[in-house]
Amino acid sequence: MSLDAIDAVNWSAIPNPTWHRCDDPERVAHALRLLTVSTTANETGDATALLAGSGFVCGHAAMVFPAAYAATPILLDLVEHGQRPRIKDAALGLLSNALAYFPTAGHNRVDTPYGTDVPLCCAIARYIRDRRSALLAHGTYGKQLLAEADLHWRLTIEEAERQADGSLTAMALLEGAPFQTPVEAELHTPPFEQPVQSVRIDALTADASGGACIELGQTPSEVAPGSTLYPAECGRREH
């Protein structure tokens, strides 16, 4: 299944930086194929090292590249359906690195089916959260990866109301872990073609289902339903 998923990606269209051949997204596809079919510890280690030193991440520089977004669901497939424990563990380690490392300047955002210019780490984290059951079943390392992903939260506005003091109260859906306020956030407004706006979340209450109530300061005149909020610090992450 992972091989088909790899072949379905247009790797050559991914805007990785082009400093040298090692950053070619096609190398990521090649390494993913090697990891998927690896049968020995040496083969798995070689494929993992190739991903850790190519256009997925660059381990010695602690950099992550845009191709990591396309590779993430493939690595999650390996965690869930991989034939050998060492392959699952390798995939988990690579995903953890993708969340922890910083993108290069000018390559810190990706376009997704749910919005454009999404911070790379947040887009990767959302893929990870979608596999919560599979990761929980993997044990301690799966739980750790989920905890890392939950720090890259996402809020979707369902309805909003301006208050007399100028603040804005909104009902929203929270993906990820509740966070301390006040905190800076970036506001993405549908149809997601206009520039990202900076806002401040002054208060947050959330229940176990993800239902949330937030208070926004420094907001534009209107916040449309379907707008999304991401941590401002994620949007600023870059080397």
Model confidence pLDDT, tens digit, residues 137-158 = 989 999 999 999 999 999 999 9
Buried b (16+ CB within 10 A) or exposed e, 179-203: beeebebbbbbeebeeebbebbbbe
Helix (H) or strand (E) holding 52, with range, is helix 41-52
Model confidence pLDDT, tens digit, residues 45-82: 999 999 998 789 988 889 999 999 999 999 999 999 98
Separation CA 231–CA 80 (nearest Å): 28
Q: Is the pLDDT of residue 20 over 60?
A: no
Q: DSSP assignment, residue 59? A: G
The three-state secondary structure class of 236 is coil
CB atoms within 10 A of CB 165: 7
Separation CA 230–CA 75 (nearest Å): 24
Separation CA 119–CA 152 (nearest Å): 9
Average pLDDT of the residues in 176-198: 91
pLDDT at 164: 80
Separation CA 132–CA 80 (nearest Å): 10
Separation CA 80–CA 75 (nearest Å): 9
Buried b (16+ CB within 10 A) or exposed e, 92-116: bbbbbbbbebbbbeebbbbeeeebe
- Are 54 and 27 contacting, i.e. CB atoms less than 8 angstroms apart? yes
pLDDT at 89: 95
The three-state secondary structure class of 137 is helix
Rounded to whole angstroms, the maximal C-alpha distance in the chain is 66
Share of the chain above pLDDT 90, in %: 74
Helix (H) or strand (E) holding 109, with range, is strand 109-112
pLDDT at 230: 98
Q: Which own/partner pairs from 189-195 qualify as long-range (CB within 8 Å, at least 24 positions apart)? A: 189/223, 189/224, 189/227, 190/115, 190/224, 190/226, 190/227, 192/115, 192/116, 192/117, 193/116
pLDDT at 192: 76
Q: DSSP assignment, residue 196? A: P
Share of the chain residues as helix, strand and coil, in percent rounded to the nearest 5: 45, 25, 30
